[in-house]
Amino acid sequence: QVQLQESGPGLVKPSETLSLTCTVSGGSVSSGSYYWSWIRQPPGKGLEWIGYIYYSGSTNYNPSLKSRVTISVDTSKNQFSLKLSSVTAADTAVYYCARADTATLFDYWGQGTLVTVSS
């Protein structure tokens, strides 16, 4: 059974960089045709796809966030990470990591972590 767990600071100051890590267990980030993804949900609002890193290492980002987003992978730790720069209050959200493939899209999700942007 694949499990994902987000970790990182729950509070980030405006203009700084948000950094989160997703630790994967029960599966490998470097095998299989999977897209290791980040999705966020502002309080009381809907889901927004942020981006993914493919098992081969290639990335794809939401065009609206592309200039501020970097997703990377650490195969030695079986983790993938999100960096979102120049954050504002609008980036306050629950951030989820998830696994996707072309058949089932997002089949496994982390529990989510709330990140608040505030001084």
Partner 1 sequence: QSVLTQPPSASGTPGQRVTISCSGSSSNIGSNYVYWYQQLPGTAPKLLIYRNNQRPSGVPDRFSGSKSGTSASLAISGLRSEDEADYYCAAWDDSLSGPVVFGGGTKLTVL
Site residues for partner 1 per CB under 8 A: 37, 46-49, 52, 60, 63, 96, 100, 102-107, 109-112
What one-character-per-residue DSSP string does 59-109 give?
A: EEE-TTTGGGEEEEEETTTTEEEEEE-S--GGG-EEEEEEEEETTTEEEEE
Nearer to partner 1, 25 or 111 (CB): 111
Nearer to partner 1, 104 or 119 (CB): 104
Q: How far is the CB of 65 from partner 1 (least distance, A)?
A: 12
- Say if CB 20 and CB 113 are below 8 A apart: yes
Longest dimension (CA), the chain: 42
Q: How far is the CB of 32 from partner 1 (least distance, A)?
A: 17
Q: How far is the CB of 98 from partner 1 (least distance, A)?
A: 8
- Say if CB 51 and CB 37 are below 8 A apart: yes
Nearer to partner 1, 16 or 21 (CB): 21
